[in-house]
Amino acid sequence: MYIFKLTILIWLLVSSQLLLAEIYKYQDANGKWQYTDKKPKESTAEVVDYKSSEKKQLGPEFVVVQRQANNVLRVTNPFHGPIEIELLSSQLQGGRKSWLIPAQGRLDLFQSENPVEAYKYRWQLGDSKVTLSDQTYQFPVNTLSCTYISQAFNGRFSHSKDHSRYAVDIAMNVGTPIVAARAGVVVGVKDDYHMGGVNEYFLDKGNYVIVMHEDGSFASYFHILLGTASVKAGDKVKSGQLLAKSGSSGFSSGPHLHFVVSRNADFKSVSVPFHFVTRDGNTVYPTEGLKICDQLVRG
């Protein structure tokens, strides 16, 4: 979708909000710490108030600058990964042109002796020309308890569109450690929301961590618990490194991790298939109902 701009200056929208939620922490019969958003019966339960102040980067910044007698349209990429931009303008030769802007890079798109006229643009995180090299991932949950895949590829509930067709939902208790399934650079973090539900209101509310891999693909970890992200944008992470704890934020019917690997394909985020790898090196195809126990957690 193109965005139509009549103004010569487009500011990167940044908003900040401070949210507070009540999360309970208690030890179960086996002495393990558990987290829940429902008040437990255990008398030793503690209330943990997670707070998070989150800045939301919504897109690239365009600005017109003066260079001698010319007006220059300049774009800045605020993200820690490359973005592709396509611009439609009568001031461009052919009327249309696209560019790849490197991570946190800046580029002058065109210059004119005349004022910059109205233009349209679209953009997407990632390089559409990359060749993906690896489809094998560590299991993204670090727990000795058993979890299971509640929805796999082409799941009927919410895995039918391009961006989610090859996603998996892994059911687990609130507060379960979420770890990086593959090494990379963190390009997005949101952990400022505490509620969840299955109506459209929650579609853009979910918390997440997004990691870009060496081959240009992205792994997204959705529905994380408020205030538990242990990484920030720009951090380099290793496979197995703690990213956050599981929750049920955003469009969610209960505590789980929505895990998906994706790439930029013609200015759209498109999911791609993958396998999990066990500690002994065997690959496991993610299927609905698959029970995952500690043998998949690599040390």
What is the per-residue pLDDT for 250? Answer: 77
**Cβ contacts of residue 32 below 8 Å, gap of 6+?**
145
Residue 277, domain member (yes or no): yes
What is the per-residue pLDDT for 105? Answer: 97
Bridge partners (DSSP) of residue 108 are 74
**Cβ contacts of residue 26 below 8 Å, gap of 6+?**
33, 34, 36, 40, 42, 44, 45, 46
Residue 10 exposed, middle or buried by CB count within 10 Å (0-12, 13-18, 19+): middle
Residue 37, domain member (yes or no): no
Residue 56, domain member (yes or no): no
Residue 174, domain member (yes or no): yes
- CA-wise closest residue to 220 among 231, 230, 210: 210
What is the per-residue pLDDT for 44? Answer: 59
What is the per-residue pLDDT for 80? Answer: 96
Residue 283, domain member (yes or no): yes
What is the per-residue pLDDT for 6? Answer: 31
Residue 81, domain member (yes or no): no
What is the extent of the structural domain holding 232?
136-296
* CATH code, 230: 2.70.70.10
What is the per-residue pLDDT for 15? Answer: 28
What is the per-residue pLDDT for 9? Answer: 27
- Number of folded domains in the chain? 1
- CA-wise closest residue to 262 among 154, 180, 160, 167: 167
Residue 67, domain member (yes or no): no
Residue 116, domain member (yes or no): no
What is the per-residue pLDDT for 279? Answer: 76
What is the per-residue pLDDT for 3? Answer: 47
**In the numeric block, which tokens belong to residue 224?**
């994380």
What is the per-residue pLDDT for 37? Answer: 52
Question: pLDDT below 70 — which residues of the chain?
Answer: 1-58, 155, 204, 294-299
Read off the pTM. Answer: 0.77
What is the per-residue pLDDT for 56? Answer: 55
**CA gap 271, 269 in Å, rounded:** 7
What is the per-residue pLDDT for 263? Answer: 94
